[in-house]
Amino acid sequence: MTTTTYQITGMTCGHCEMSVREEISEIEGVTSVTASSADGTATVESAAPLDLGAVRAAVEEAGYELVDAK
């Protein structure tokens, strides 16, 4: 199991969090996503490390920008 926290800009509310969670959850191998507009983060648990490009594409599809991953 891998846990990664992504810094995301543009989220301002619960609807933003939901959009990010839904898009990232569609990536194969993702088991859990928690998004926080207050912190500007999404914490993702997955079976294996995720391709950063896939996560970036999912965040952009939701209408936001991925800035960093930890």
Cα–Cα nearest to 66, from 30, 29, 35: 35
Rg, the chain, Cα only: 10
Q: SS3 sequence, the chain?
A: CEEEEEEEECCCCHHHHHHHHHHHHCCCCEEEEEEECCCCEEEEEECCCCCHHHHHHHHHHHCCEEEEEC
Q: What is the pLDDT of residue 46?
A: 98
How far the first Cα of the chain sits from its last, in Å, is 15
Segment 33-60, tens digit of pLDDT: 999 999 999 999 999 999 999 999 999 9
pTM attached to this predicted model: 0.94
As its CATH architecture, domain 2-69 has 2-Layer Sandwich (3.30)
pLDDT at 70: 83
